Amino acid sequence: MIGTGLAAAARFFLCLFLAVAVTACSTSETLRSAAPTSKAAASSKYAAIVMDGYSGEVLFARNADSPRYPASLTKMMTLYLLFEALEDGRLSRSSQITFSPYAASRPPSKLGFKAGQSIDVDTAIRALAVKSANDVATAVAEHLGGSEAQFAQMMTAKARQLGMVSTVFRNASGLPDSSQRTTARDMARLSMALRSRFPGYYPYFSQTKFTFRGRTINGHNKVLETVRGADGIKTGYTRASGFNLATSVSRDGRRLIAVVMGESSATQRNAHMADLVATYMPKTSSRNGGSRALAIRRP
């Protein structure tokens, strides 16, 4: 009788364990399926975060605090410091920035300036935000910091002020450097800071093209043209980073900031971003019915 009782008890606890395990697996699958999937999600490069553009609440995060290469998302900080220089009067939009031999030698993407030539600040901003020009990024860095290395220290110091605790900058462009690291969360913080701190300059990030020396320069950010309400902010790619994208969307009085890093192609990156926006935009808050939402106009 005792043996029979022990066997029955064993069977009971085994069934209980299996039931709990099945329930746990089912719950886990439900949580995973609640978020849009990406072919890059299993990649060591992948990271993503979605934040409420008003409250800063994190609506979705995956590998959001894992170190990643920023690639040309770096130029968002270059522009942050350039906007500060405009705001405090050190520069005007018509100020000229001269290219050193080093700046002119930076690899593409670039505008192709020669050493000794110069660019006005307004065109430089467009070249960074739209074309992601590496030669222009380095010229701006040398102009504001004396050298690109010194400017990178300024960038990192500003990152700390903005709460970007996991970011280190080594150059102004995002060209490959194994020591230049960030996280999806930090890039989302920078995206929000640019919008809130510089509402007068932020509209540069909504541009998809600009005119330079009589020719039209097209940008890389196709999400601006395919996702309703998308008004910025920046793309990036290197072989080490994969395809990165920071996006801001304002729609129906709501605002969302999302960052995707490490996708396998621009097409996959853009599609994943569109899925994230579609899923989480309805979960964002509104501020006074959207009456305080930033009106985007082209400068």
pLDDT tens-digit profile of 272-297?
Answer: 999 999 999 999 998 754 433 343 33
pLDDT for the residue 288: 56
Contact between 234 and 246 under an 8 Å Cβ cutoff? The reply is yes
Question: Catalytic: which of 38, 131, 132, 241?
Answer: 132
pLDDT for the residue 225: 96
Q: Write out the E strands in 121-176.
A: none
Q: Which of 52, 38, 70, 105 is nearest to 181 (CA)?
A: 70
pLDDT for the residue 34: 52
Please tell me the pTM assigned to this model: 0.84
Say whether 114 counts as a known binding-site residue: no
pLDDT for the residue 287: 74
Is 283 among the catalytic positions? Answer: no
Report strand pairing: 209-212 vs 118-120.
unpaired
Question: Catalytic: which of 38, 72, 191, 206?
Answer: 72
Left if phi > 0, otherwise alpha if psi is -120 to 50, otherwise beta: which for 174?
A: left
d(CA 252, CA 255): 8
Output Rg (C-alpha) for the chain, integer angstroms: 23
Q: Which residue do the tokens 């430089």 mark?
A: 124
Taking each helix axis from N to C terminus, what angle separates 134-145 and 74-87, rounded to the nearest 10 degrees?
40
Is 66 among the catalytic positions? Answer: no
Is 109 among the catalytic positions? Answer: no
What are 76-107's pLDDT values in tens digits? 999 999 999 999 999 999 999 999 999 999 99
Q: Which two tokens stand for residue 256?
A: 């969302």
13 φ/ψ angles, rounded to the nearest 5 degrees? -70, -30
Question: Catalytic: which of 38, 45, 75, 206?
Answer: 75
pLDDT for the residue 96: 98
Q: What number of CA atoms fall less than 13 Å from residue 179's CA on the CB side?
A: 7
**Residues of the chain under the 50 pLDDT cut:** 1-33, 289-299
Domains of the chain: 38-290 (3.40.710.10)
Element (H, E) at 269: helix 266-280
pLDDT for the residue 177: 97
Element (H, E) at 236: strand 230-238
Which residues, in sequence order, are CB contacts of 216 under 8 Å at separation 6+?
209, 210
Q: Is residue 124 packed enough to be buried (19+ CB in 10 Å), middle (13-18) or exposed (0-12)?
A: buried
Q: Which of 193, 177, 173 is nearest to 185 (CA)?
A: 193
Q: Residue 115 carries which side chain, given as an amino acid letter?
A: A
